[in-house]
Chains A and B, each alone.
Chain A
Amino acid sequence: MNKFIRSVRLDEDACRGCINCIKHCPTQAIRVHNGKAHITDKFCIDCGRCIRYCPHHAKIPDYDSLNVINNFKYTVALPAPSLYAQYNNLTNVDIVLNALLKLGFDDVFEVSAAAELVSEASRAYIEAHEEEAPFISTACPSIVRLVRVKFPSLIPKLLPFKPPVEVAAEIARKRAMEKTGLASEDIGIIFISPCPSKVSYVKAPLGIKKSQIDNVVAIKEVYPLLLPHMTHDENSLTPLSASGRIGIGWGNSGGEAAGIITDSYLAADGIVNVLRVLEGLEDEKIHGLKFIELNACNGGCVGGVLTVENAYVAESKTKRILRYLPVTQSHLDSYPDVRVKWDSLVEYEPVFRLGSTFKESLHMMKTVEELTKRFPGLDCGSCGAPTCQALAEDIVRGEATVNDCTYVLRDYINRLSDEIELLANAVNENGQSDESLKTLQENIGRLSVELEELFHSTF
């Protein structure tokens, strides 16, 4: 199974080969080659930043069309808490849940209800393992993927629990099978997601062997379709919601931490901020905390690239929904069979390692240092790599050449043109003798070969 699946693809026609995405990628996974942006799968953590920053909308997030509900005899919708935060003046989530049934789903199970189970299990786990704290949240797949490729020493700090959506999927599938008597493959468990990172998670899950989620659809696609089915006649609603403040609060950054019920936490959102926190944890600059909540998107899940509302507006809408809710409505005792814990380990993937042995890597690193000194240090991105150092790394990995640097190339062309000028002057001064003509011919021949090679290697 491929461990490095990503859920962003390139619209080749839309890509202009500019440098916006390479500059914003937190793991330097993107290079522009031949005028198009290419992502290296194993470096990509699916954070969605390139989708956000591409001015030409050439980065296309992967998700399923809502038509997938026709592929199953029975379907269960798993709405993310961030779905509720898209709507104005919503005070009762049953309005959304009932609308999902009217839209064509046979049943719903809230991700926020499962989140309350994960919160409960996390509280107990952190308390029982206090001496190993702080623990890092694992609900955002991009965070787990980032730690697994960049922060090996923090892998033991990852909270070993499934993301709420996975717990929701397990419960929903089991329930649907019991209720309908249908086989597992006839039942579609469909997540309504704020981000494409979950699409890759379903294909290549972390901490578990196989996901129970069948399809991932986008909030931005479901949002407008639900509007005509939403009623404000609360008497006509079937009560379906089983989550409180803790579960629904997970949609906002800080919401998961609120469910841990401790003051000893920090919550960082936005992948650049997350990187700083992970660096601090790694160096033990950040200590004395029990829980570290990290979300790749600004504002938390409400800031996902598949949402419609502004992340900060959505955050305030979530708070409005929480106002009249009880603290929690779902408890682990009601789900004796559910397994919240990971059943497989997350292992370090040293994808950024230069060579296959230390000796080889050291040697390559020396070349990287020498090359970096040769480049102008402008990090202009014209070569297609985000920094001069990244170009140097690409060169030692055999994926680029020094002439990809426009400044090195300019100097080279200057040198060739100086030589041509010298030759031209030589022709004018003593072009009569046979011997000098021969030397001139040889030199002109050599220059034309060099120029030809240069042209083919760079354009």
Chain B
Amino acid sequence: MNESITFQYKISGDDFTRAGEASSDVKNKLKMMGVDNNVIRKTAIAMYEGEINMVIHADGGDITVDISDDEIKIVLADQGPGIKDVVKAMQAGFSTAPEEVRALGFGAGMGLPNMKKYSDEMQIETELGVGTTVTMLIHM
């Protein structure tokens, strides 16, 4: 059986300055495990975008990262408002981020498109008023 390792993070919803701590931690751990640089880069960027999304739209949530021989699986689960129109949300540049968030340089509408671009597989489960779970796979 393939051995795997799991890391879990609780993302707080009210603090922009802390967004990125979880992806940074995963990145350092992947480096210590000798994972390919390109895989690390993809994981770090995809996860960072997911983390930021959780802070902007969903008041935080939980991230679970599973690392095994053949893939990295990132599950981002929140109890936020849900995504109204997933197809639209996947379009580059489409954003529902509030003005004060955009003023900080976030909310450019590249979150989900970048998550898709940097992961090898991505799945979104969302329900209005209940929450969203995004699962990303990055192949080793």
Pairwise interchain contact B5-A279, C-beta atoms closer than 8 A = no
Known: A359-B69, A362-B5. A283 touches B44 (CB 8 A): yes
Q: Which residues of A contact B41 (CB under 8 A)?
A: 153, 282
B96 CB–A CB distance under 8 Å: no
A113 to B48, CA, bound (A): 43
How many A-B pairs have beta carbons closer than 8 Å: the answer is 62
Q: Which of A344-383 contact B (CB under 8 A)?
A: 348, 350, 352-355, 357-359, 361-363, 365-366, 369
Pairwise interchain contact B67-A362, C-beta atoms closer than 8 A = yes
Pairwise interchain contact A362-B3, C-beta atoms closer than 8 A = yes
Pairwise interchain contact B23-A350, C-beta atoms closer than 8 A = no
Q: Which residues of A contact B48 (CB under 8 A)?
A: 283, 285
A284 CB–B CB distance under 8 Å: yes
A152 CB–B CB distance under 8 Å: yes
Q: Which residues of B contact A363 (CB under 8 A)?
A: 3
Closest approach, in angstroms, between the C-beta of A142 and any C-beta of chain B?
19
Q: Which residues of A contact B34 (CB under 8 A)?
A: 350, 353-355, 357-358, 361
B24 CB–A CB distance under 8 Å: yes
Known: A284-B45, A363-B3. A279 touches B24 (CB 8 A): yes
Q: Which of B25-33, B77-85, B131-139 is near enough to bind chain A? A: B25-33
A357 to B35, CA, bound (A): 9
Closest approach, in angstroms, between the C-beta of A356 and any C-beta of chain B?
8
B56 CB–A CB distance under 8 Å: no
Pairwise interchain contact A369-B32, C-beta atoms closer than 8 A = no
Q: Which residues of B contact A23 (CB under 8 A)?
A: none
A444 to B131, CA, bound (A): 60
Pairwise interchain contact A361-B32, C-beta atoms closer than 8 A = yes
A150 CB–B CB distance under 8 Å: yes
A283 touches which one: B3, B4, B20, B69 (CB < 8 A)?
Answer: B20
B31 touches which one: A284, A353, A366 (CB < 8 A)?
Answer: A353
B112 CB–A CB distance under 8 Å: no
Q: Which of A152, A355, A357 is most buried by chain B, counting CB atoms within 10 A of its CB?
A: A152
B33 touches which one: A153, A285, A358 (CB < 8 A)?
Answer: A358
Closest approach, in angstroms, between the C-beta of A387 and any C-beta of chain B?
12
Q: Is the interface of B mostly helix, strand, loop or mixed?
A: helix
Q: Count the A residues whose beta carbon is within 8 Å of the partner chain — how many?
A: 24
B37 CB–A CB distance under 8 Å: yes
Contact flags B6-39 to A (C-beta < 8 A → 1, else 0): 0100000000000010011001010111110110
Q: Which residues of B contact A359 (CB under 8 A)?
A: 3, 69
Pairwise interchain contact B37-A153, C-beta atoms closer than 8 A = yes
Q: Which residues of B contact A279 (CB under 8 A)?
A: 24
B40 CB–A CB distance under 8 Å: yes
Q: Which residue of A lies closest to B4 (CB)?
A: A362
Q: Which residues of B contact A357 (CB under 8 A)?
A: 34
Q: Which 5 A-B pairs have the closest CB atoms?
A: A361-B33, A353-B34, A152-B37, A361-B34, A153-B41
Binding site for A on B (CB under 8 A): 3-5, 7, 20, 23-24, 27, 29, 31-35, 37-38, 40-41, 44-45, 48, 67-69
Binding site for B on A (CB under 8 A): 150, 152-153, 279, 282-285, 348, 350, 352-355, 357-359, 361-363, 365-366, 369, 393
Known: A282-B27, A350-B34, A365-B29. 13 other contacts (CB 8 A): A150-B31, A152-B31, A282-B41, A283-B20, A283-B23, A283-B24, A285-B48, A348-B37, A353-B32, A359-B69, A362-B68, A369-B5, A369-B7
